[in-house]
Amino acid sequence: MGKIRVLDESLVSLISAGEVIENPASIVKELIENSLDANATNIDIRIEKGGIDSITVSDNGEGILKEDCPVVTIRHSTSKIASRDDIERIMTYGFRGEALASIAAVADLEVTTRHKDEEIGSCIKSRAGQIPDITDATRPQGTTVDVRNLFSTIPARRKHLAEPRVESQRVLAAIMKHAIVRNDVGFRFLRDEKTVFDCPSNQTPQERIRALLGPDVADNLIEVNYSNRIVIKGFVTNPIISRGNRGREFFSIRKRPISDPSLERVVETAYSSLLMRGRYPIFVLDIELEPEKVDPNVHPTKKEVRVQDFDLIRETLGFVITNVLLDIKPAVRSESLEYLVESEMVEQEETSIFPDADSARAEGRALLLEETMLVEPVPSNVAELDIKEIGRILNILGQVSMVYIVIATENGLVIVDQHAAHERILYEKLKKQVSEGNAMVQELLEPIVLRLGVSEAERVLGLGETLEKLGYSIASFGGNEILISTLPEILGKRASENEMLALVDRILELGEGLAMNEFMDDLVRLTACHAAIRSGQKIGHEEARRLIAELFATEGKYHCAHGRPTIIRISKEELDKRFGRTGPDAIARFRARHRL
Ligand code: ADP
Ligand code: MG
């Protein structure tokens, strides 16, 4: 007997389903595209457990005709194409008629729909791989597709799915790709019943970007509007903001999201002199060209669009973006840029504790005074200082150079380094939590994805268990990307990609050969350091007061977690001495004046 057999139809559909349906994100993508093809103006997406348990996509589109219902889950059934000519001019997102059939092959599927021209709707119910059951249903115009128990009948595939938080991040990325360019359509996304975003229909492109990418991006947009044989429209951003991965590079061709490495590289090259190594630009660009030139169904999952004249597109894109960036103020260059990026709360103007600071500075007095204080700290006296002294007369004079808090006490001056002090407070707090095994955790609404070097990603993941004890949840996001979904609570405010990249870099620098407890202590130190108020951050009186009170409640109040002093004191005696009121100089002067 020969070895070759013809596969039966259900097996064939399973295999080909695998090409379209990799994970919940690929289902969501197909369903969104169907809704857009049906001219929906609002699309509502809900997932449970990363979409592994359930995915529901509802729209207010045209709906499906009753007579069409029996065939929607059959392979190669589509309403979007009738003739060869149509293939050439296709304007819809998909026309191979494969998505619903593929989903039905690997999951339980329920489609509830009512066509705009019909009174009675339909409900198509299909259990993984079985013939669907169709009944009447009531529903406003539109379609709801409900997908449950993904891969429940194919354990091998189910095992391949990542943890829910990783899958849900992929779903979010898939939705973003569409939502960012289709600002005309309302998109709502709920994850485990929590709203991740809710964008109304008919937003301006800028409003949509603000809603999805945040104010930092929205405030730094540079419009691109080029129209010739090829039309390129959208936004790039001022290089003062950037990302550590390609997650904010959005390309579309006629509003159909695509990811094409060669196009990405063109824009990255245009930015290359403006960004640090390892940083990626943020942009949302749509390219338009005649529909004949786009063949969207070449790649089985339609990630890549094959386009004629691709070289021309690349050239034009490079030219357009380079020109747009030339207009940016030349003063803005990488060094100062990085500075801005690193310390997010930079405030340029300095505050001074002295009421007549400006005139004093003009005469060089303030400068002298600051130098004197810095050069001559009196750390040996510090041990005498206690909360009673500081508590009784906590006369905070102000903040110098946005880093030192200056306090007048009964007997001189006390100067606190705000960063060092806060680091000490947080270090002791986190250390206690970790040793008691209950680190406070902050869940991130939108997890952070970082692109690292290959071996780096592996090393960080290898530290996963240790990091978990501090409150970091880190998972692989595929390739050399990692996904951070929770952070130690004390770091919550600093949950930005830049911060996390810097932190991960430093975590990897920690001695690998260290004993476990030492390593843990280093991690706690590092976390505290990153979470602490930075120098350069303005703080108010009340905040300063609280900081000092908390500092005095710590055990090692005189030093930060790294051993630098948190407080220095300049006693009245020291001041007297320096002003020549006491000491040998004063006696000599007294003598001279009185000719003794
Ligand atoms: P394709 O999108 O390639 O045509 P699908 O399997 O995704 O194939 O969908 C099959 C058909 O089901 C579509 O051609 C369309 O007629 C109908 N359909 C699917 N989803 C929707 C929807 N949300 N609204 C209206 N019709 C839909
Ligand atoms: Mg489709």
Ligand nearest to the Cα of 36, by number: 1
**328 vs 268: CA distance, rounded Å:** 16
Give the pLDDT score at 542. Answer: 84
Ligand 2 center to 77 CA (angstroms): 10
Residues with Cβ within 8 Å of 253's Cβ and at least 6 positions away in sequence, in order, are: 286, 287, 288, 289, 294, 305, 307
Ligand 1 center to 122 CA (angstroms): 14
**249 vs 321: CA distance, rounded Å:** 13
CB 569 within 8 A of CB 412: yes
Q: Given this structure, which CATH class describes domain 206-326?
A: alpha beta
Give the pLDDT score at 539. Answer: 87
Could you tell me the end-to-end alpha-carbon distance of the chain, in angstroms, rounded to an integer? Answer: 128
Query: CATH 3.30.1370.100 residue ranges in the chain?
Result: 437-531
Give the pLDDT score at 82. Answer: 58
Give the pLDDT score at 582. Answer: 75
Q: Which atom of ligand 1 is nearest to the CA of 63?
A: 25
Count of alpha carbons within 13 Å of 298, Cβ hemisphere only?
A: 12
CB 51 within 8 A of CB 167: yes
Query: CATH 3.30.230.10 residue ranges in the chain?
Result: 206-326
Ligand 1 center to 196 CA (angstroms): 26
Ligand 1 center to 36 CA (angstroms): 10
CB 544 within 8 A of CB 399: yes
Q: Which atom of ligand 1 is nearest to the CA of 103?
A: 6
Query: Which residue has the CA at smallest separation from atom 14 of ligand 1?
Result: 78
Residue 544 corresponds to which tokens in the numbers above?
């300063």
Block means of pLDDT (10 residues each) for the chain, 596 residues, are: 61 62 93 96 97 97 94 75 55 71 91 96 87 92 96 87 89 94 97 91 96 88 92 94 86 89 92 83 90 53 57 90 80 34 30 33 33 34 48 73 88 90 94 91 87 81 90 88 91 82 84 75 90 88 86 86 86 84 74 77
Query: Which residue has the CA at smallest separation from atom 11 of ligand 1?
Result: 78
Query: Which residue has the CA at smallest separation from atom 23 of ligand 1?
Result: 35
Give the pLDDT score at 84. Answer: 54
Ligand 1 center to 72 CA (angstroms): 7
CATH code assigned to 437-531: 3.30.1370.100
Strands (E), 172-248: 186-191, 194-199, 221-227, 231-237
Ligand 1 center to 159 CA (angstroms): 29
Cα 286 to Cα 30, 205, 235, 259: the distances in Å are 20, 11, 9, 12
Query: Which residue has the CA at smallest separation from atom 1 of ligand 1?
Result: 97
Give the pLDDT score at 85. Answer: 58
pTM above 0.75, yes or no: no
CATH code assigned to 9-192: 3.30.565.10
Query: CATH 3.30.565.10 residue ranges in the chain?
Result: 9-192
Q: Which atom of ligand 1 is nearest to the CA of 77?
A: 10
CB 150 within 8 A of CB 104: no
Ligand 1 center to 232 CA (angstroms): 29
| Residue to substitute in 31, 34, 91 for testing ligand 1 pocket (most ligand atoms within 8 angstroms of CB) | 34
Residue 88 corresponds to which tokens in the numbers above?
């050439």
Which residues have CB under 6 Å of ligand 1? 30, 34-35, 38, 59, 61-64, 72, 77-80, 94-101, 143
Q: Which atom of ligand 1 is nearest to the CA of 102?
A: 6
The radius of gyration of the chain from alpha carbons, rounded to an integer in Å, stands at 31
Q: What is the DSSP string of 510-573?
A: S-TTS-HHHHHHHHHHHHHHHHSPPTT----HHHHHHHHHHHHTSTTTTB-TTS-BSEEEEEHH
